[in-house]
Amino acid sequence: MKPRDRLRIAMQKSGRLTEPALDLLTRCGLTFRQSRDKLFCFGEGEPVDLLLVRDDDIPGLIAQGVCDLGIVGRNVLSEFQLTGGREAEPLAELRPLGFGRCRLSIAVPQELDYREPRQLQGRRIATSYPGLLGEWLRAQGVDAGVVTLAGSVEIAPKLGTADAICDLVQSGGTLVANQLREADVLLQSEAVLAGPLALPADERGDLLELLLKRLDGVIQVRESRLLLLQTSRHSLEAVTRLLPGGPQPTLLPVAGQPDQLMLQALCAGEVSWRQLEEIKKAGAREMFVLPVEKMLA
């Protein structure tokens, strides 16, 4: 491969991962010139370009060196590592990205009383993930037939071409609609940033490092919440003890109420209603949970 001074990221052209992936890259300060119906988007602000492709092609494009990075489901990346990538360079999951969450699961007809993987012995299982399914069956010590299908896996039991399926599940709605139910989970998946094991030795290595730093900042802020509340000095200790994670809270006086304090805390994740109710019981009032847009420490 000829050295390149621009970084190239492969992402899904049109599908579940497209909008959130573009949104994430935009938040990292990347902008692109081409319209989205084209295959190639030229990066304007930074020397980072996009290639818009089918998600299944992404790991191969990175392994061949056509692209440096890719945004793809862990399910697709792992399957490639097991089946498609033997001759190619192994790839790394550089960052989990927190969207496109789903599970790769075994689903069986509703009437089957599934208790353990051994019940799949000698049965036929339809899937688009023969690598991951085969690995799981081996680990369970189960000998079953793997029927590889490119799509519409969920109708295989109804058609009589398989006894069970191994497919992606999010809400489970598709399974119910096909009289199937989730029986076992093989893999928890989400979109990930995939890339080579080692940083490229040319300028792209520095660019990649810069992008990873921005990405970490964006992910951290996306998951942060600012919690504001009022408490009496008397309840402060009890309230503080219940605060979800994060650095030390900031305390401010409340004008005209020397006994009261305003507390501000940065929380590392979602703050649930239940947590709020507990903190309130400990003596807090006037509670607010705010999303954080940007952060510069």
Binding site for ligand ATP (CB under 6 A): 12, 15-17, 54-56, 73, 75-76, 100, 102, 168, 170, 189
- Which residue lies nearer to ligand ATP by CB, 55 or 163? 55
Give residue 187's identity as a one-letter amino acid code: L
- Which residue lies nearer to ligand ATP by CB, 75 or 178? 75
Residue 231: count other Cβ atoms within 10 Å of its Cβ: 26
Gap between the Cα atoms of 95 and 116, Å rounded = 33
Select the span of 49-57, 134-142, 202-210, 232-240 touching Zn ion (CB under 5 A). Answer: 49-57
Q: Residue 233 binds what, of Zn ion, ligand ATP, none (CB under 5 to 8 Å, by partner type)? A: none
Q: Residue 271 binds what, of ligand ATP, Zn ion, none (CB under 5 to 8 Å, by partner type)? A: none
Q: Residue 75 binds what, of Zn ion, ligand ATP, none (CB under 5 to 8 Å, by partner type)? A: ligand ATP
- If binding is defined by CB under 5 A, does position 18 make contact with Zn ion? no
Mention every residue, 6+ apart, whose C-beta is less than 8 A from residue 113. Answer: none
Collapsing DSSP states into helix, strand and coil, what is residue 138? Answer: helix
Select the span of 24-32, 47-55, 120-128, 263-271 touching Zn ion (CB under 5 A). Answer: 47-55
Structure tokens at 253: 């006086």
Structure tokens at 219: 């992910």
- If binding is defined by CB under 5 A, does position 56 make contact with Zn ion? yes
- Token pair 């097991």 is found at 82
Q: What residue number has its CB nearest to ligand ATP?
A: 73
Gap between the Cα atoms of 173 and 164, Å rounded = 17
Mention every residue, 6+ apart, whose C-beta is less than 8 A from residue 14. Answer: 52
Q: Residue 12 binds what, of Zn ion, ligand ATP, none (CB under 5 to 8 Å, by partner type)? A: ligand ATP
Gap between the Cα atoms of 106 and 180, Å rounded = 10
Which residues are at the interface with Zn ion (CB under 5 A)?
Answer: 55-56
